[in-house]
Structure 1
Amino acid sequence: MRYPPSALIIDGDLTDFGHIEQHKEFQNGWMISFPLPILAGLGNHDYENNVNDCAFNFCAHTMLTCFFVFRFTNYGKNMSLEMDYRRHVKSAFDIAYDGSFAYSTRLNNAVDYETTFSSFLVDWKVNSAMDFLKTELKLLRDVDIPVLINMHQCEGTRLEKLRELIAEWIYESRNMGHRKRVAAFYAHLHSMHEVKTVCMHGVPVPFVYVGSVPNNRFSMLRISRNLSSLVGFAARDAFDVGEQDSIQVLGEINNFWGHCTSSSFSFYAFNDDLEKHVVEVMQKTVNS
């Protein structure tokens, strides 16, 4: 690769069950060993599935404590990142955390996920990230830079909520003198590796399933001042016989933020067989 990536973004499911040994394996295999900044968020396997389903809620507590509170204290400051959370200490035996635990536009699990639970002497309140995201987008309204919104789950009503929020932001920013470049990335459905670009007030907004570790898929986004592209990859298992390359390029979308009309969207799937790639433009009215 001529230019190394600026960062690696991991959209959730860092572990299977949030167990401490799985967290340590992720830390050693990725956070410590990978030679570039990693912007990771939690998925449903890391904490949502484990609330009230793991002894003393220790699994969810472990992921939130180790990954965010302890690690982010130094890692986040070194990267000039601020996390959306608050720590309340009433005594050594009465500590509480609350927030969405989002940073930059790196959300956790889902844009509207919220829960409360206790583990030992610590109370946790996970808030929806909707207000956090609205505030961040408002700050970016007059800035001409790409906005990359990352989370783990974005299906059904959650997808509709995110679309409405983005469409409202685009409309409110329509007189800022530049066209917005915004995209959403997620990975909850591990078998999915595709892009759906929806036109909102004349602005193309890609919604991307980035691939997943269990499915050996990942994506690379290249951005420059005037050009942008998204490349889909498949990583081959070490035991695949007869394959010369460990990485297979599945396809590339040039001009990631292209042009569109207000009533269309496009679909692109990264498939193993390049001849099966289909790019369809279908008419659809987007209520935004």
Structure 2
Amino acid sequence: MFAKKTAPLIKRKKLIIGLALALTCSYVHASEYRIAAMADPQAFRTESGSVHNWDESRWERENKLTAESLRNANKQKTIKFGIINGDITEYGRTLSLDSFHKIYDLPFKTFTGLGNHDYANNVGECHKDICDIDMLTYMHKHIESKKNESNFSNNLTWHYQHGHIVTSYGSLAYSWDDGDIHYVQLQNHPSYDVYLNKHVHNTKFEYKKTSLMVWLADDLNKARKRGKQIILNMHNADQNFLKNTNETEKEFFKKIINENKVIVIYSDHYHGPWIINNKDWFGDAPVRVSDSLFHGDYYLVDIPKSGLSTVS
């Protein structure tokens, strides 16, 4: 059931028309709290679509307004945490990542994932793949910082040897519980695959992206046994995922979703709010695609005792 609702955002001169989605699930019994589902701050891409590779001033000026609207929303009703589903940066550059952290220093904790602009687009394009390696290192540190979350799990192995050799493998996926909900961050998309073997920063760095399907099936099964409902998060739930996933993996992914009764998937990549309802790809779970932070948009998601609702 859908209802239209207006929500003013500081960045806009007009009211933003959003979606209020009521999922009436008889098994919903979570304690009431609010989260922010976000994506694509994409430093340094601006609202006009322009990319200012080495000049953060315009992106920072526009995104300060978005960050301020999130702070105001938090004052009106406390946001327990935020989820940012990828494209933290436009090209994975450290300058952009630093600017993101400065502007989106929010009054609530955030759980981030990587998108195609953070690493997938940059393989072979950035000197010695340093952009990809820096973003992978950032995500490793981010995952490490979340290990005290309830029932935390992750699909990443990371080895340091003698301070100058890093060997890592896994999908970067991670998950945690909050109340009666189990959240999973799938990063770019479940089938993204890459191998990097470079010398950078006086360090030999080797990374092998491996499939997350077996880990995901086990993780969701354990969550259901704990009595949790499940929300998945990924960056691209459409084009890149479908092109890079064979039929066997698609069927297995759909089976995982249906068997574990995933209630919603939050995604982005397309810089505009829309809804994917495709049972061939995602089984019974609806996909809510949010607009971009660099456009000034995000979802506020209420998880009350009566059900899950999403407000732009």
Report the TM-score range of the alignment, normalised by the length of the smaller protein.
Answer: 0.5 to 0.7
Using the size of structure 1 for normalisation, the TM-score is 0.68
Residue-pair matches, total: 219
- Residues 163, 7 of structure 1: alpha-carbon distance in 2 compared, 3 angstrom cutoff: farther
Q: Which residue of the partner structure matches residue 31 of structure 2? A: none
2:237 is paired with a residue whose SS is coil
Using the size of structure 2 for normalisation, the TM-score is 0.63
2:195 is paired with a residue whose SS is strand
Q: Which residue of the partner structure matches residue 265 of structure 2? A: 184
- Residues 142, 26 of structure 1: alpha-carbon distance in 2 compared, 3 angstrom cutoff: same
Identity, % of aligned positions: 26
Q: Which residue of the partner structure matches residue 135 of structure 1? A: 218
Pick from 192, 197, 210 the counterpart of residue 113 of structure 1.
192
**Aligned equivalents of 1:43, 1:109: Cα separation in 2:** 4
**Aligned equivalents of 1:129, 1:117: Cα separation in 2:** 18
- Residues 77, 119 of structure 1: alpha-carbon distance in 2 compared, 3 angstrom cutoff: same
1:6 is paired with a residue whose SS is strand
Pick from 15, 18, 27 the counterpart of residue 101 of structure 2.
27
Deviation at 1:138, TM superposition (A): 1.5
Deviation at 1:147, TM superposition (A): 0.9
**Aligned equivalents of 1:70, 1:231: Cα separation in 2:** 31
- Residues 62, 43 of structure 1: alpha-carbon distance in 2 compared, 3 angstrom cutoff: same
**Aligned equivalents of 2:170, 2:226: Cα separation in 1:** 26
Asked whether 1:168 is paired with 2:274, we answer no
1:15-55 deviation digits (Å, cap 9, x = unpaired): 0101111111112222xx21111011000110111111111
- Residues 170, 42 of structure 1: alpha-carbon distance in 2 compared, 3 angstrom cutoff: closer
1:133 is paired with a residue whose SS is helix
Asked whether 1:226 is paired with 2:306, we answer yes
**Aligned equivalents of 1:42, 1:19: Cα separation in 2:** 13
2:286 is paired with a residue whose SS is strand
Pick from 92, 111, 119 the counterpart of residue 47 of structure 1.
119
Structure 2: segments with no counterpart, 5+ residues:
1-72, 176-183
Name the aligned partner's letter for residue 158 of structure 1: F
**Aligned equivalents of 2:210, 2:257: Cα separation in 1:** 25
Q: Which residue of the partner structure matches residue 25 of structure 2? A: none
Structure 1: segments with no counterpart, 5+ residues:
174-179, 233-288
Deviation at 1:196, TM superposition (A): 3.3
2:140 is paired with a residue whose SS is helix
Pick from 149, 173, 176 the counterpart of residue 79 of structure 1.
149
More helix per residue:
2
Task: Report which of the two structures shows the higher radius of gyration computed on alpha carbons.
Answer: 1
1:43 is paired with a residue whose SS is coil
Deviation at 1:99, TM superposition (A): 0.8
The root-mean-square deviation of aligned C-alpha atoms, in Å, is 2.6
Asked whether 1:7 is paired with 2:81, we answer yes
Pick from 274, 279, 288 the counterpart of residue 208 of structure 1.
288
Q: Which residue of the partner structure matches residue 172 of structure 2? A: 101
- Residues 126, 170 of structure 1: alpha-carbon distance in 2 compared, 3 angstrom cutoff: closer
1:56 is paired with a residue whose SS is helix
Deviation at 1:137, TM superposition (A): 1.5
Pick from 141, 154, 167 the counterpart of residue 70 of structure 1.
141
**Aligned equivalents of 1:163, 1:222: Cα separation in 2:** 30
